[in-house]
Structure 1
Amino acid sequence: MKTDDEVVSAVAAADGEIVFVGDDEGVQKYIGKDTKVIDLDGLYVLPGFIDGHNHGASHQLEKKFDLYLNETAPNQASYQKVMKDYREKYPDKKYILGHGLNLNAFENNSPAHGFIDEIIDDACVFIQDMSVHGCLLNKKAMDEIGLTKDTKAPDGGTIYTDGNGEPTGYLSDCFSLTAPLLAKVTHDAAQEKAAFKEFMKEMNSYGITAFQVPGGGFEDGLDIIREFAKSGKMTMRVSLGQFVDDLNADGAKKIVKVFDKNQSYNSDWCKVTLAKAIIDGVPEGKSALLIDPYDSAAGMPADYRGPVSATQDELNEMTAIIDKAGYQVEFHAMGDGAVNMALNAFEYALKHNGKRDARHQIAHATLMKDEDIPRMGDLNVIGAMQPMWFYYDPFFSPLEEKVFGKARFAKEYRIKDMLDAGIVMTGSIDYPITLEARPLTGIQAGATQCSPFDGEEDSADYLRNPDQAVTVLDMVKMYTVNGAFALEMDKQIGTIEVGKKADFVVLGQNILSCDVKDVANTGVLYTISDGRVVYTGKDKSVKAEPIQGA
């Protein structure tokens, strides 16, 4: 498939660029003695998939060096066994970082520090939950950062307490409090490079040839990308974002200086343009910002709407400063209150600075006011969406339904309405928040609003808002041309056109014409980056099943 949804039979590339798109006869003149020819024999070629919201190689580092719970059954006994084994393996570690804590393993979805203290009380242990917005500390870690009943949560954060007002050790969106602990857990340059190489290999196996990192590991990451690009090891293009630490004018000026300093890193492989700011938290942590109070089942005060990280005026000024400097702003916003604040900020920047091709984004946009959907389209704000969250999944959905209530839960992820409003959406999975990073599963989930996995695709237990289903082609665009637009790489990638980079994925069948419930079973046969085959698969079809730990 090339641009404008046109289907052709042949494509030729030289020196990493597409030089011909057309028919079999026309391509013959591009075939020489050193030309590598791949006879597709009816297979299907798409532009390389683009993951619009991916945290990069952090998962590879976590799994190899940290306390890793993602592949453990979500119950306290299993978690404690993993902790015991880890402590025996690393008896001298003074700071232990963990990942993948499933809140469903705890009564009322509320973990407390004693669960860790029973196993490890002589080292600081802090375990991020599956959203990474929440974190459980043991007593020693609490003491290390001075967490007491008198500690005030940072803006936008929540410190959970027991019936006596004492902190349980579970925090949501309190990154500034846990930062001193995180700083004690480091990985050396060799480990980071090995992890990035492994990450690219995994993503290539899914047909992914570009991705956007929404903040984190900025300057170290830039150096790795430059080194890999220079040595020919890069197999994915990347827009590398950076977090805005303080959501105000001072924070904006600081991030603009960082971006200005690093513009020399821009290349065919790298883009330095995205500033990431977090307005609210996550529904399951009861830290998403809502317009109306949480449901009573959330167990919060009657008027509780969730914390917020900044005032509207602060967000407005921050956004206007970054926008005027010519950079993109992406807001993490999951609650309808947070999305509304983000749109207010983008509207302010537009009025303050004038119209430009800004390509600002909202990540997740889980819940939106009815009137904010067309407004988001009118403001040309991109939605960085996660299609594997669209259906009724076994982890996030029950928790969201509980804290939001059934009626409000049913209004999440109105993808068809967003598409009809002209909102450009990208596809991703927020890896490694969810490990199921295959675009083909996301494409099927968005087109069916049901689970894409074998044995689940016909079950009503996984079906959610079928009226919001979109076409397979709509979903393909999220992972190709829309992704390129969001990365500001649309002149290079996203469609198969002469002059663009030779980034392709070859699939085992035409996913636009096959049964929509068979899209996720499609095999990736070749992934081609910059004209090089970087992944070769064996099977035209695969069994679609969750990646372990997803």
Structure 2
Amino acid sequence: MTQSLHGHGHLHLHSGTVWQGEGHETAEQVLVSDGVITAVGAEVTARLTGLSEQERERVQSVDLEGGFLMPAFGDGHAHPLFGGLEGAGPAVRACTSVEQIVEEVRHYAEEHPELPWILGASYDGSLAPEGLFDARWLDEAVSDRPVALRAWDYHTVWCNSSALEVAGITAQTPDPELGEIPRHPDGRPWGTLREWGAIDLVMQHCPPRDTDTLVDALRRASRYFLEHGVSWVQDAWVEPENLEAYLAAAEQDALEIRYNLAFYADPRHIDHQLEDFAAQRVRVQAAGHPHLTANTVKFFADGVIENETGALLQPYCSGLHDHGMTVWEGDSLAHAAAAVDALGFQIHIHAIGDAAVRQALDAIEHAVSVNGPRDRRPVIAHAQLVDEQDLPRFSSLGVIPCMQPLWAQPDALMTVLQVPRLGTERSDQQYRMRTLRDDGAALAFGSDWPCSSGAPLEGVAVAVSRQTEDGEPDQGWTPQERLDLGVSLDAYSTAVAHQGFTDLHEHPWGRIRPGAAADLVWLAQDPRGLTAPGLRSLPVRATFVGGRAHLHPTD
């Protein structure tokens, strides 16, 4: 739990290192007045001296105790509702074996006999060979009602036999559009469903989550991000029922951090979605909550490497799925992106494989050529594999690569599910963060939480080391792509604020300077002297959102 200091009156933060960003001078104190930074460094003393006696009584002193104050972290690509909902089902996230998952599902089902479905997330897809999980394993835990669990990648669902039966999925069921039903050699479905075309076959039968449950999930998500120093999040997948939850949370003043919504564009329904997007944006604007905007539209260009649905220029090593899955055929993504851009929305495209990245860049280039120049700040999220000739296009087109630094390590997901599919040569071309930034791209970071940890400092630790938590490999994986610490901190703060157009607000956040909103994070010590293990464990003492301090207890 966090404790709060109100953001009214004056906050004097002092006796620490105030970091104003890579390449900027540091200071020792900051003055915040009614949620806005009014002075930094020596100017603070002069401002305090000039206050009236009555105003001095309103000054709250915060001793930073030698800690480190910097712009609050932002998350350029996450899924807050998904993450919040993980607390409303069986706790499979920490399970390290199939047996543990099955036992946790059994225990949860026994404790909740009233639930018609058992829904949960998110399990480790590397725990079964080739990521294939058998429905019969879940049948051992629950056989009297459907079970559906999402994998860490959120592109995969594992079902029991009851769920497959409800969905009518049999050996004769063809693979749906934009989805795959993996099968045993005799044609029986495994119980593992890949991508939303297949996942929807099951999930459309689930009872919908009520609004109160979704609002509670947003509360949990907000607390989670606050605990990790995050004040602004790009929700990168919002459907109509999710919008209702955000609007209800805004009405209940339950949004403790700032959210920008990205409406999900579906190639199967885009024709009527365009009008809906505009109307939904108007509803968010009418709500008038200072922590809620809806300026973005999200596209999927492909799936993920571990499912062999990431779209590649050259085929997978196994050849099972050849070049992967292209979500938008032909030039349909380019036309849809131009239509969204014409409505004034920011384009945000999920692109994992090098073919998907090229298609995304082509789509953005088309939108620019059709609609003319403007400040659009398009985003390509993930950019896991980028062809050499496409690297400079990020900078030339003004595309922000919003990348997930935590993924740039040889963990089980990489070594068990991705490297065998890509081969060593292509694997070593993944997550070229330093190359993109050196080419002039405005690199920003996101977590993709809950697909991976939403703790920025864990991502920063990998960005500077390219090592696992165990310190492997010794010099880092593809060490030429390691980033300097200051660059990494900027990518998780100021750069995300730029992605979110926060500089266009009356009181922008993402910088520590007079006139900026006081969105700040207080770390227990200066991270610039720490190695990767120290960064991972560095405590967040407080997160400030518009001057309101959420203090985190320390041992």
Query: Does the alignment reach a TM-score above 0.5?
Result: yes
CA distance in 1 between partners of 2:201 and 2:490 (Å): 38
Deviations 1:3-47 (A, max 9, x none): 662212221111111111232533423571111011324322101
Aligned match of 1:547: none
Mapping for residues 29-48 of structure 1, pairs under 5 Å: 29=49, 32-48=56-72
| Secondary structure at 2:215 match in 1 | helix
Post-superposition shift, 1:180?
5.6
CA distance in 2 between partners of 1:396 and 1:32 (Å): 56
Post-superposition shift, 1:375?
0.8
Post-superposition shift, 1:198?
2.8
Mapping for residues 64-79 of structure 1, pairs under 5 Å: 64=88, 66-75=89-98, 77-79=99-101
Aligned match of 1:481: 494
Q: Which amino acid aligns with 1:53?
A: H
Q: CA 1:360/1:509 → structure 2, altered by over 3 Å: closer, same or farther?
A: same
Deviations 1:444-502 (A, max 9, x none): 21011113x4xx23x32793111101111111111111111112213411001211111
Aligned match of 2:6: none
CA distance in 1 between partners of 2:474 and 2:272 (Å): 45
CA distance in 1 between partners of 2:509 and 2:152 (Å): 32
Q: CA 1:83/1:14 → structure 2, altered by over 3 Å: closer, same or farther?
A: same
| Secondary structure at 2:420 match in 1 | helix
Q: Is the Cα–Cα contact under 8 Å of residues 289 and 307 in structure 1 kept in the other structure?
A: yes
Q: Is the Cα–Cα contact under 8 Å of residues 166 and 205 in structure 2 kept in the other structure?
A: no
Aligned match of 2:342: 324
Mapping for residues 40-439 of structure 1, pairs under 5 Å: 40-64=64-88, 66-75=89-98, 77-175=99-197, 177-178=199-200, 181-182=203-204, 184-216=206-238, 217-229=241-253, 234-246=255-267, 250=271, 253-262=274-283, 263-265=285-287, 267-296=289-318, 300=320, 304-434=322-452, 436-439=453-456
Alignment of 1:440 onto 2:440: no
CA distance in 2 between partners of 1:56 and 1:324 (Å): 28
Deviations 1:177-227 (A, max 9, x none): 526635624433333333322322222121111111001353223313422
Report the number of matched residues: 525
Q: Is the Cα–Cα contact under 8 Å of residues 392 and 462 in structure 1 kept in the other structure?
A: no
| Secondary structure at 1:483 match in 2 | helix
Post-superposition shift, 1:515?
4.6
Q: Which segments of 5 or more consecutive residues in structure 2 lack a partner in the other structure?
A: 1-18
Q: CA 1:126/1:197 → structure 2, altered by over 3 Å: closer, same or farther?
A: closer
Alignment of 1:468 onto 2:487: no
Q: Which amino acid aligns with 1:331?
A: I
Q: CA 1:85/1:41 → structure 2, altered by over 3 Å: closer, same or farther?
A: closer
Q: Give the one of 508, 523, 531 matched to 2:539.
A: 523
Q: Which amino acid aligns with 2:440?
A: G
TM-score, normalised via structure 1 length:
0.89
352-361 vs 164-173, greater mean Cα deviation: 164-173
Aligned match of 2:3: none
133-142 vs 216-225, greater mean Cα deviation: 216-225
Deviations 1:40-97 (A, max 9, x none): 2432210111111121143333223x2331122222x222222322232233433222
- RMSD, matched Cα: 2.3
Alignment of 1:532 onto 2:548: yes
Mapping for residues 492-511 of structure 1, pairs under 5 Å: 492-511=508-527
| Secondary structure at 1:158 match in 2 | coil
Q: Is the Cα–Cα contact under 8 Å of residues 75 and 445 in structure 2 kept in the other structure?
A: yes
TM-score, normalised via structure 2 length:
0.88
